[in-house]
Amino acid sequence: MATSAEPEALPPLLAVEGMSVGYGRQLALEDVSLHVGPGEAVALIGPNGAGKSTLLKAILGLLPLTDGRVKVLGRRPVDAREHVGYVQQADTLDPEFPVSVVQVVLMGRYRAVGWFRRPGAADRRQAMEALAEVGLADRARDRFGTLSGGQRQRVLLARAIAQRAQLLLLDEPFNGLDATTSDILIEVLARLRADGVGVVMSTHDLAVAHLTCGEACVLNRRRVAYGPIGEAITPGTLAEAYGSRAVLLASGATVVTTNG
Amino acid sequence: MVRLLLDPFGDAYMRRALVEILVLSGLAGVVSVYVLLRRLAFVGDALTHTIFPGIAIAFVVGQSLFVGALLAGLASAVLLTVATRIRRIDHDAALGVLVGAFFSLGVVVVSTQSSYTSDLTALLFGRILTVDTAEIIETTAIAVAVLIVLTLVHKEVVLRSFDPIAAEAMGYRVFLLDLLVNAVVALVVVAGVRAVGTVLVIALLVVPGAIARLVSERIGPMLVASVAAAGLCGYLGLVASYEASLNHGVRLGSGSTVVVALTIAFILTGGAAALLRRRGAGTAAPGSAVP
What size, in residues, is chain B?
291
From the candidates A92, A107, A115, A169, which should be mutated to test the interface with B, based on the most B CB atoms within 10 A? A107
pLDDT at position A3 is 45
**Considering chain A, what percentage of its residues have pLDDT values greater than 70?**
90
pLDDT of residue A40: 95
Length of chain A: 260
pLDDT per residue over B18-71, tens digit each?
999 999 999 999 999 999 999 998 888 899 889 889 988 888 888 888 899 899
The neighbouring-strand residues paired with A202 are: A44, A171
Residues in B closer than 8 angstroms to A88, CB to CB, are 165-166
On the question of pLDDT at B244 being above 60, the answer is: yes
Check A88 against B170: CB less than 8 A apart.
no
Q: Work out the minimum CA distance from A197 to partner chain B, whole angstroms.
A: 17
Most confident of A132-136, A171-175, B250-254: A132-136
Q: What is the pLDDT, as a whole number, of residue A8?
A: 54
Q: Do A115 and B156 touch (CB under 8 A)?
A: yes
- For residues B216-221, give the mean pLDDT: 94
Closest CA–CA distance from residue B166 to any residue of chain A (Å): 7
> Which range, of A171-175, A226-230, B4-8, B273-277, averages the lowest pLDDT?
B4-8
Closest residue in B to A165 (Cα–Cα): B170
In the prediction, which pLDDT does B250 show? 81
Residues of A in contact with B155 (CB under 8 A): 107, 110, 113, 118-119
Contacts of A209 (CB under 8 A, 6+ apart): A43, A45, A201, A203, A216, A229, A233
Average pLDDT, chain B: 87
**Whole-number pLDDT of residue B262:** 94
At B128, the pLDDT band (50, 70, 90 cuts) reads: confident
The alpha carbon of residue B149 is apart from the nearest alpha carbon of chain A, in Å, by: 9
The Cα A47–Cα A41 span in angstroms is 20
Q: pLDDT digit string (tens) for A17-46?
A: 999 998 777 888 999 999 999 999 999 998
By Cβ distance, the residue of B158, B169, B219 closest to A60 is B169
- Most B CBs within 10 Å, among A55, A76, A86, A147, to test the B interface: A86
CA–CA distance, A143 with A96 (Å, rounded to integer): 9
If one compares A131 and A258, the residue with the highest pLDDT of the two is A131
B133-159 pLDDT, tens digit per residue, is 999 999 999 999 999 999 999 999 999
Q: What phi and psi values does residue B231 have, to the nearest 5 degrees?
A: -65, -45
Contact with chain A for residue B137, Cβ under 8 A: no
Task: Give residue-wise pLDDT tens across range A186-197.
Answer: 999 999 999 999
| Nearest residue to A155 (alpha-carbon basis) of A167, A169, A140, A168 | A140
Q: Is the pLDDT of residue B276 over 90?
A: no
pLDDT at A245: 57
Q: Rounded to a whole number, what is the distance in Å from the CA of A250 to chain B's nearest CA?
A: 37
Q: Say yes or no for a CB contact (<8 Å) between B171 and A93.
A: no
Question: Nearest C-alpha of chain A: how many angstroms from B68?
Answer: 31
Q: List pLDDT tens digits, range A44-85.
A: 998 888 899 999 999 999 888 999 999 999 999 999 988 999
User: Which of A144-158, A213-227, A241-255 has the weakest average pLDDT?
Assistant: A241-255
Distance CA A258, CA B13 (A): 75
Q: How confident is the model at residue A2 (pLDDT cuts 50, 70, 90)?
A: very low
Three-state secondary structure along chain A? Answer: CCCCCCCCCCCCCEEEEEEEEEECCEEEEEEEEEEECCCCEEEEECCCCCCHHHHHHHHCCCCCCCEEEEEECCECHHHHHHHEEEECCHHHCCCCCCCEHHHHHHHHHHHHHCCCCCCCHHHHHHHHHHHHHCCCHHHCCCEHHHCCHHHHHHHHHHHHHHHCCCEEEEECCCCCCCHHHHHHHHHHHHHHHHCCCEEEEEECCHHHHHHHCCEEEEEECEEEEEEEHHHHCCHHHHHHHHHHHEEECCCCCCEEECCC
pLDDT given at position A1: 44
pLDDT of residue B116: 60
Mean pLDDT of chain A: 87
Tell me, what's the pLDDT at A234?
Answer: 87
Cα of A19 to nearest chain B Cα, Å: 19
Q: Report chain B residues whose CB lies below 8 A from the CB of A141.
A: 286
pLDDT of A9:
59
The mean per-residue pLDDT over the stretch A165-175 comes to 91
Return the HEC string of chain B.
Answer: CHHHHHHHHHCHHHHHHHHHHHHHHHHHHHHHHHHHHHCCHHHHHHHHHHCHHHHHHHHHHCCCHHHHHHHHHHHHHHHHHHHCCCCCCCHHHHHHHHHHHHHHHHHHHHHCCCCCHHHHHHHHHCCHHHCCHHHHHHHHHHHHHHHHHHHHHHHHHHHHHHCHHHHHHCCCCHHHHHHHHHHHHHHHHHHHHHHHHHHHHHHHHHHHHHHHHHHCCCHHHHHHHHHHHHHHHHHHHHHHHHHHHHHCCCCCCHHHHHHHHHHHHHHHHHHHHHHHHHHCCCCCCCCCCCC
Instruction: Please tell me which residue of chain A has the smallest CA distance to B151.
Output: A116
> Which residue of A81, A99, A116 is in closest CB contact with B169?
A81
What is the per-residue pLDDT for A6? 47
pLDDT for the residue numbered B277: 83
Predicted model pTM: 0.88
Substitution target from B38, B150, B170 for chain A, most A beta carbons within 10 A: B170
pLDDT band at B118 (very low <50, low <70, confident <90, very high): low
Query: For the ranges A60-69, A151-160, A242-251, B211-220, which has the lowest average pLDDT?
Result: A242-251
Residue B39 vs residue B246, higher pLDDT: B39
* Residue A10 reports pLDDT greater than 70: no
Return the pLDDT at B210: 96
Q: B127-137 burial string, b = 16+ CB within 10 Å, else e?
A: bbbebeeebbe
**A-side interface with B, Cβ within 8 Å?**
60, 62, 78, 81-82, 84, 86, 88, 92-94, 97-100, 102-104, 107, 110-111, 113, 115-116, 118-119, 141-143, 146, 159, 163
- Compute how many other C-beta atoms are within 10 angstroms of the C-beta atom of residue B284: 11
- Which amino acid, residue A124? R
Residue A233 amino acid letter: I
Query: In this predicted structure, what is the pLDDT of residue A137?
Result: 95
pLDDT of residue A252: 45
Mean pLDDT score, A209-213:
93
Least confident of A247-251, B114-118, B179-183, B264-268: A247-251
What is the distance between the alpha carbons of residues B284 and B38, in angstroms, rounded to a whole number? Answer: 26
Q: Which residues pair with A216 in a beta bridge?
A: A43, A227
Verify whether the Cβ–Cβ distance B291 to A119 is below 8 Å: no
pLDDT of residue A255: 52
| Structure confidence at residue B117 as a pLDDT band (50, 70, 90) | low
d(CA B160, CA B153): 11
d(CA B74, CA B67): 11
Distance (Å, rounded) from C-alpha A233 to C-alpha A173?
20
Phi and psi at A111, nearest 5°, equal -65, -40
A100: number of Cβ within 10 Å: 21
Average pLDDT over residues B178-205: 89
Nearest CA-CA distance, residue B217 and chain A, Å: 5
Cβ contact (<8 Å) for B153 and A115? yes
- Position A242 scores a pLDDT of 83
| Res. B270: pLDDT tops 80 | yes
Q: What distances in angstroms separate CA A126 from CA A110, A131, A159, A171, B27, one per listed residue?
A: 12, 9, 10, 24, 35
